[in-house]
Amino acid sequence: MTIALPPSLRVFERGWLSANGLLCRDPESDADRDADNARPTPATRYRYTLIDTGYVSHAAQTVALLRHALAGAPLARIVNTHLHSDHCGGNAALHAEWGCRITIPAMEAAAVAAWDEDQLSFRATGQECARFVHDDVIAPGDTLQLGGYAWQVLAAPGHDPHALLLFAPEPRILVSGDALWQNGFGVLFPELDGGGGFAEQRVVLDLIAGLDAAVVIPGHGPVFDDVGAAVERARSRLAYLEAEPRRNAVQALRVLIKFRLLQRQHMPDSELLAWMDDASYLHRIRARFFDDAPMTALMAEGIAGLVKAGAARHVDGVLYDHG
Ligand SMILES: [Zn+2]
C-alpha cells in the first residue's frame, strides 16, 4: 500500500542500506506561494531541500534521481538527520552539482569542520564518506520550515548519540531516520562501546509514541502509517536486544559487512578479513561480545547471518552482494 503524502513532499525509497531521501518543495517567494495555493503554473518557482542523501557508493545515482525530480531547478539545501555514511554519503556529490547549503546536527559541527573520521565514526566502522563542508546546524528545540510545514527538531539518541527527528504536527508526519522503522530500528552503536543505547532508545520510542504521528517517513524501508504498532514492535525488539546485548553486536557485524559489500559488490574472504582486521569497531565488538574469539569466527557469523537474511550469497569463499 502506498501512503499519500502532501504534494510538497516526495520520498525516494532506496535499496537495502542507502537511506531514503525526502525532497521538500517550497515556493520561492510570496507571489509563488499564492500561485502554489491556487494552482502551480510552469512559472512558479520553488526552493528544494533534500533530507538525507544516501550512501556514498550510490552518490551518482542520487544525483541522477534528483536531477530528474528537480527538472532543471536547483537543489537549495541538504538537511541530515544524522551523519552515518548512508545518510550523508551523497552530500559532497550533490553539493558539487548544485552548490547547495548543507545543514547538519549541531553536535557534529566540530567533527565535520575538522573532518575527524574517528569522531564521525567512518574510520572506526570501516566506512567511506566523501568529505563535505557544512553551512549551518540544527539542534533539538529548533523549527525548520520545509514543504510548507513547520518541523520540530527533536533529539533521538540510541542509534546515534547526535541523531535528530523531524516532526510536523500539522500533517502529523514524522521523519524518523534510524530511530524507528516499520520493523525495528538501527543498530544501537553507542551500546557497542559501552556508551549506553538501550535506555536512550527506550526514551526515544516513548517520545515518538507521545507525538501522535499519523505517518512516518523512515530512514529505510517504506513510509508507514501503523505507527502505534511499529512502536510496539520496536519496543519488543529493544527488550529482545537488551536481554542479550550480544544480539545488538551481531546485528552491527552484519550491517558493517553489508556496507562493505555494497562498496565492493563481491569480496573474497581474505579481503573481507583484512578489512575487518582494520576496523577498530570490530575489534572492540570482538573483545566485548565475542570473548576475544578470532576475527575469522566473527566473519563466519556475519556471513552466515547475511546469507540467512537473503542479503548476500557466499560461493567458493567469495561473498556477493545480493539485494
Ligand atoms: Zn544510521
DSSP string, 44-73: --EEEEEE----GGGHHHHHHHHHHHHTTP
Per-residue model confidence (pLDDT) at position 175:
98
Do β-strands 75-79 and 318-321 pair in parallel, antiparallel, or remain unpaired? unpaired
48 alpha carbon to ligand 1 midpoint, in Å? 23
* Mean pLDDT of the region 123-151: 92
Which residue type is seen at 204? V
Alpha-carbon distance of 105 to 82, in angstroms, equals: 7
Structure confidence by residue, pLDDT tens digits, 108-128: 999 999 999 888 877 777 778
Alpha helices in 244-279 (DSSP H): 246-264, 269-278
Is beta strand 9-12 parallel, antiparallel or unpaired with respect to 136-138?
A: unpaired
Q: Domain spans of the chain?
A: 9-242, 246-321
CA 177 to ligand 1 centroid distance, Å: 7
Ligand 1: centre distance to CA 189 (Å): 9
Alpha-carbon distance 89 to 112, whole Å? 13
**How much distance in Å is there from the Cα of 210 to the middle of ligand 1?**
22
In degrees and rounded to multiples of 5, residue 217 shows phi and psi of: -105, 100
Task: Tell me how far the alpha carbon of residue 312 lies from the centroid of ligand 1, in angstroms.
Answer: 20
CB 20 within 8 A of CB 52: yes
The contacts of residue 225 (CB under 8 Å, 6+ apart) are: 3, 214, 215, 216
pLDDT at 308: 93
Cα separation, 309 vs 254, in Å, equals: 10
Give 44's Cβ-side CA count (13 Å radius).
16
- Side-chain-side CA neighbours of 22 within 13 Å: the count stands at 26
Cα 159 to middle of ligand 1, angstroms = 7
Which amino acid is residue 308, in one-letter code?
K
Each residue's pLDDT tens digit, 30-73: 766 666 666 666 667 899 999 999 988 889 999 999 999 999 99
Determine the pLDDT at residue 37.
62
CB-CB contact of 51 with 22 (8 Å): yes
Which CATH number is correct for 246-321, 1.20.1340, 3.30.300, 1.10.10, 1.10.3470? 1.10.10
Reduce the DSSP state of residue 235 to 3 states and report it: helix
Count of alpha carbons within 13 angstroms of residue 308, beta-carbon side: 8
Q: What is the pLDDT of residues 180-216, one digit of tens each?
A: 999 999 999 999 888 889 999 999 999 999 999 999 9
Distance from the CA of 219 to the center of ligand 1, in angstroms?
Answer: 8
197 CA distance to ligand 1 centroid (A)? 13
pLDDT at res. 39 = 63
The Å distance, Cα 256 to ligand 1 centre, comes to 11
Q: Does pLDDT of 234 surpass 80?
A: yes
**No. of H helices and E strands in the chain?**
12, 14
Average pLDDT over residues 85-110: 97
- What's the rounded Cα separation, in Å, for the pair 234 and 159? 12
- Alpha-carbon dihedral of residues 198, 199, 201, 206, nearest 10 degrees? 140
- Give the Cα separation of 14 and 175 in Å (integer): 15
- Mean pLDDT, range 83-95, rounded to an integer: 95
> What is the reported pLDDT for 38?
61
| Section 263-275 average pLDDT | 94
Q: Are 158 and 200 in contact (CB under 8 A)?
A: yes
Q: Which CATH superfamily is domain 9-242 in?
A: Ribonuclease Z/Hydroxyacylglutathione hydrolase-like (3.60.15.10)
Contacts of 66 (CB under 8 A, 6+ apart): 21, 23, 50, 75, 94, 97
Q: How far is the CA of 273 from the centre of ligand 1 (A)?
A: 24
The stretch 239-258 carries a mean pLDDT of 93
Output the pLDDT for position 195. Answer: 84
